[in-house]
Amino acid sequence: MLYCVNSKMAKNRTQSEAVNGSRSEGVTARLRAAIFEGKYPPGTPLREIRLARELEVSQATVRESLQKLENAGLVARVPNVGTTVVRLTPHDIRERVELRAELEVWAAKKAARRMTAEHYEELARKLEALSAAVESDKYYEAAQSDLAFHRYIWQCSGNQTLASTLEHVTVPLLAFVSLLRHSGFEHLPDVVAAHEPLIEALHTQDDEQIEKAFREGATKSYREFMDAGGASRRAFAFGLMEA
């Protein structure tokens, strides 16, 4: 009888954890979308109690979601102070862009040696998804499709640590670019065209061409924001960057 009771308790606990995990994932997705869409601009305080009330979930669920967003580099949490949406400085952008360029070139070279016709078909589907989001003028969906395209190449490298590191480095940059597009700094139609040379370079399996294409792809959208020049000053004025 005791075994049956313990089994039932364990089953109920497992079901409860599954529900809580699903709820946390849902809240994380909603907060992530709100950050990418500019509903929570850079520097916005994210208060657990208020978010819990707005999203109709527990404060513990919000706290867990904010932890996931912090792990993704989208929010900054300071003990006894609170959580805010990350606001990048030109120095932050330059560091992340330089690191992403180095790591993505490495990942692309490794991926090119492993990719088959099936991999390229899947990559083409991901580019189609990006194109559909762009045509519909959906900024958040475009950013997520952009990430999915690059993430697939990273995973094709066969190095999961490399893929995970690139994700952490890149997600805040894509959130920043999504906000730039919302504010008219960058045009969505240019996004799809920028990915085509990457596929072409992978097909060649030539290290020099891969390096040239992926280094250009990793840096092009950010160059004018990597110092305190004109574009950065406009971004400061919009509250998208921190001086």
User: How much is the average pLDDT of 197-210?
Assistant: 97
CATH superfamily of 90-238: GntR ligand-binding domain-like (1.20.120.530)
Judge whether residue 6 has pLDDT over 70: no
Residue 138 tokens read as: 């959906």
Spans of all domains in the chain: 2-85, 90-238
What's 57's DSSP letter?
S
Does domain 2-85 sit in CATH 1.20.1280.290? no
The pLDDT score that the predictor gives to residue 206 is: 98
* Residue with more model confidence, 75 or 18: 75
The amino acid sitting at 20 is N
Give the phi and the psi of residue 28 in degrees, each rounded to 5.
Answer: -60, -45
Question: What tokens appear for 145 in the block?
Answer: 């499709």
Q: Which of 157, 167, 164, 170 is nearest to 106 (CA)?
A: 157
Amino acid identity, position 122:
E
**Does pLDDT of 213 surpass 80?**
yes
Angle between helices 48-55 and 2-36 (to 10 degrees): 100
Asked if 111 and 156 count as a contact pair (C-beta separation under 8 A), the reply is yes
Mean pLDDT of 90-102: 93
Give the other-Cβ count within 10 Å of 30's Cβ.
16
- State the chain's mean pLDDT as an integer: 85
Indicate the pTM of the whole model.
0.80
- CB–CB of 191/177 below 8 Å? no
Report pLDDT for 56.
Answer: 94
